Amino acid sequence: MPTTGDGVRELASYLTGAEAKQMADQVEAALPISTVRGSLAPSRAPYIMALIEQSGLADDRHTLVSVLRAVEGARASSLIVSPVWTAPDNLVGAGQLTSTLHQYIDNARESVICATYNFQRSSALWEALKTAAGRPGLDVQVYMDHDAADESPAGWKPTTRDVAATLAPARVYRTVPWQGTTVRTHAKFIAVDHQYLIVMSANFSKSAEHHNIELGLVVHDRAACEGVLATFAGFHDIFERVPTQ
């Protein structure tokens, strides 16, 4: 770990502008340090907090804010992209897809927006999304492929109505025909708080999350996240909301 002076330089080099702004806003608002840590990407939070501690800034909020604001100005356009994997037999150590998704959903404060082709009850996200949907003030939306869910043998996978009922009051949407043609949605992503975007090859199933070789990318950038959501919102005529009854 760097010495005190080196720690400040390493912190300034390591942080993105988005991270620095977010942390500075929270520190200025006198939020607990645990809240500040919880808002960071799980893969980056331990080292960032260690650097702050090593630099002697943990107990000096005024100086910490000054450092963070300087980083915000110098690195406002920085973008962090982290890979996450699934592979059989625990071949992946750090950066496992399932645990990464859990952490982002569990730490969500404003919204969780998901799109997937295949949703199974065996998915670890089934319970995570149920818990998230029950949290007051958290907007949860799920977009699914109609045929993948509703045209499968009964009982093998939850139907879109099953998902809507289980995740209520979350809003669940399914594809509808477009200009007389069946539309399949293969887009697979999770957007959290309009600033974290996880784009992945994996469906929401146990095999995809634990056994297959799957790759995902976690993009920590509000502009990138909101750009994807804005484009996806343009597909509203291809989806209909699923009733819960």
Same domain? 66 vs 87:
no
Report the 3 state secondary structure along the chain. CCCHHHHHHHHHHHCCHHHHHHHHHHHHCCCCHHHHHHCCCCCCHHHHHHHHHHCCCCCCHHHHHHHHHHHHHHCCCCCEEEEEEECHHHCCCCCEHHHHHHHHHHCCCCEEEEECCCECCCCCHHHHHHHHHCCCCCEEEEEECHHHHHCCCCCCCCCHHHHHHHHCCCEEEEECCECCECCCCCCCEEEECCCEEEEECCCECHHHHHHCCEEEEEEECHHHHHHHHHHHHCCHHHEEECCCC
Contacts (Cβ under 8 Å, ≥6 apart) of 90: none
DSSP strand pairing (111-115 vs 189-192): antiparallel
CATH code of 131's domain: 3.30.870.10
* Structural domain ending residue among the three candidates 52, 74, 96: 74
Same domain? 62 vs 85:
no
* Structural domain of 15: 4-74
Contacts (Cβ under 8 Å, ≥6 apart) of 56: 4, 7
* Structural domain ending residue among the three candidates 42, 74, 106: 74
Amino acid 95: pLDDT? 55
Same domain? 152 vs 62:
no
Q: Which residues is 231 bridged to in the sheet?
A: none
The mean pLDDT value for 26-52 works out to 88
Same domain? 117 vs 48:
no
Same domain? 182 vs 121:
yes
Same domain? 58 vs 120:
no
- Confidence grade of residue 4 (pLDDT, cut at 50, 70, 90): low
Amino acid 187: pLDDT? 94
* Structural domain ending residue among the three candidates 22, 52, 74: 74
Q: What is the pLDDT of residues 89-121, one digit of tens each?
A: 666 655 577 777 888 999 899 999 999 998 888
Percent of the chain with pLDDT over 90: 47
Q: What is the pLDDT of residues 53-101, one digit of tens each?
A: 988 898 899 999 999 999 888 766 556 788 888 887 666 655 577 777 8
- Confidence grade of residue 1 (pLDDT, cut at 50, 70, 90): very low
DSSP strand pairing (171-175 vs 80-86): unpaired
CA distance 132 to 33: 23
Q: What is the pLDDT of residues 154-185, one digit of tens each?
A: 677 899 999 999 999 999 999 999 999 999 99
Q: What is the pLDDT of residues 224-245, one digit of tens each?
A: 888 899 899 999 899 999 998 7
Show the CA angle centred on residue 234, arms to residues 232 and 237, nearest 5°.
110
